[in-house]
């Protein structure tokens, strides 16, 4: 956690406190393998009052000051920094995040979308699969600022056609060149939103570069089970799962249906149990697991994380 002089940047002295965790959550923490870290996509949701936070706060207050309160929950040991998808942040900002959380907390960092969206427009020119931009704008600041609390850097490719990515085979080749040119050290993961790109050539690219496939549960993508069939979890250096959006939903529709994200609206036990199964298997193989959940998965990301922890603990008894 941060030193006393820094605590007001993120903690209770800035007015954001933690909700008292349920007694069963304290006990549940001990039943979930330490290698499995559960978390959410960002932390700045006023609807989480009474679940994660002590009382209602504005989105702006939570974005600036809520992380320490979030990280005090016994079952929330990871978080996805989503803002970095839209614009890079500097090492100082990353360091302030690292100062707000315990030593065993981990961050997923989303890479700049200019790197992974072939149709993204930029005043600085094209940056699609540009390893120099990735190193300078994404990797170096994250490594310097987060240190050992950096879990993985995720490059999320937009749900565009395979042709817009250069074609299936060409994409796998370009991706390999990009990944091989990145600085060594961090765990990298690739998240696809275009099923046609998940080819044998893509799987081979990840294998030879030692990069993880980020298994995403999203309406635009193959099912989790289908992704696992194409790229078994054992093939990844770290299991990274992002549980985003259930089949048949879009983000706007899910937001309207699920807001303010303070209850489970449409539970997905099949996905929950599949994630529990594969994550537990990886933990038993002494591999780290990070699972980050979006509010649009079931209605409330932290409540989904709590239910997932229960499923993992139950599976661990078998």
Residue 167 lies in a domain: yes
pLDDT at 275: 99
What range does the domain containing 302 cover? Answer: 7-316
Residue 155 lies in a domain: yes
Tokens coding 293: 């959940």
Calpha distance 6→27 (Å, rounded): 30
Biggest alpha carbon–alpha carbon distance for the chain: 55
Report angle CA 22, 81, 161 to the nearest 5 degrees.
120
Residue 1 lies in a domain: no
Residue 2 lies in a domain: no
Residue 245 lies in a domain: yes
- CATH classification at residue 45: 3.20.20.410
pLDDT at 1: 45
Q: Let me know: does 97 contact 107? Beta carbons within 8 Å.
A: yes
**How many structural domains are present in the chain?**
1
Residue 141 lies in a domain: yes
Residue 296 lies in a domain: yes
pLDDT at 123: 66
Residue 236 lies in a domain: yes
Kindly report whether the peptide bond that precedes residue 265 is cis, defined as omega within 30 degrees of 0. Answer: no
pLDDT at 126: 85
Q: Let me know: does 274 contact 225? Beta carbons within 8 Å.
A: yes
pLDDT at 262: 98
Q: Averaged in consecutive runs of 10 residues, what is the pLDDT profile of the chain (318 residues)?
A: 38 75 94 98 98 97 98 98 97 99 99 95 82 98 99 96 92 98 98 98 98 98 97 95 94 95 97 98 97 98 99 92
pLDDT at 14: 60
- Segment 12-15 long-range contacts (CB within 8 Å, at least 24 positions apart): 12/68, 12/69, 14/61, 14/64, 14/65, 15/57, 15/61, 15/65
């Amino acid at each position: 956690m941060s030193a006393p002089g820094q605590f007001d940047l993120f903690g209770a002295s800035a007015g954001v406190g933690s909700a008292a965790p349920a007694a069963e959550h304290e006990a549940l923490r001990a039943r979930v393998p330490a290698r499995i870290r559960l978390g959410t996509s960002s932390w700045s949701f006023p609807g989480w009052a009474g679940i994660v936070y002590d009382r209602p706060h504005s989105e702006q207050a939570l974005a600036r000051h809520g992380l320490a309160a979030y990280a005090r929950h016994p079952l929330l040991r990871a978080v996805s920094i989503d803002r970095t998808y839209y614009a890079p942040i500097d090492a100082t900002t990353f360091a302030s995040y690292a100062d707000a959380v315990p030593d065993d907390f981990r961050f997923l960092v989303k890479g700049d979308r200019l790197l992974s969206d072939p149709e993204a427009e930029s005043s600085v020119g094209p940056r699609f699969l540009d390893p120099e931009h990735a190193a300078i704008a994404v990797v170096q600041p994250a490594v310097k600022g987060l240190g050992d609390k950096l879990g993985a850097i995720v490059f999320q490719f937009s749900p565009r056609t395979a042709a817009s990515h250069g074609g299936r085979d060409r994409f796998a080749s370009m991706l390999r060149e990009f990944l091989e040119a990145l600085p060594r050290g961090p765990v990298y993961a690739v998240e696809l939103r275009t099923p046609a790109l998940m080819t044998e050539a893509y799987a081979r690219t990840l294998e030879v570069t030692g990069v993880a496939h980020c298994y995403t549960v999203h309406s635009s993508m193959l099912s989790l089970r289908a992704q696992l069939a194409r790229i078994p979890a054992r093939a990844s250096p770290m299991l990274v799962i992002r549980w985003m959006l259930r089949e048949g939903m879009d983000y706007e529709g899910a937001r309207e249906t699920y807001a303010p994200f303070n209850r489970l609206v449409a539970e997905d036990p099949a996905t929950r149990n599949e994630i529990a199964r594969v994550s537990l298997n990886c933990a038993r193989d002494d591999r780290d697991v990070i699972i980050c959940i979006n509010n649009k998965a079931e209605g409330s990301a932290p409540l989904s994380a709590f239910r997932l922890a229960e499923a993992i603990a139950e599976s661990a008894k078998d």
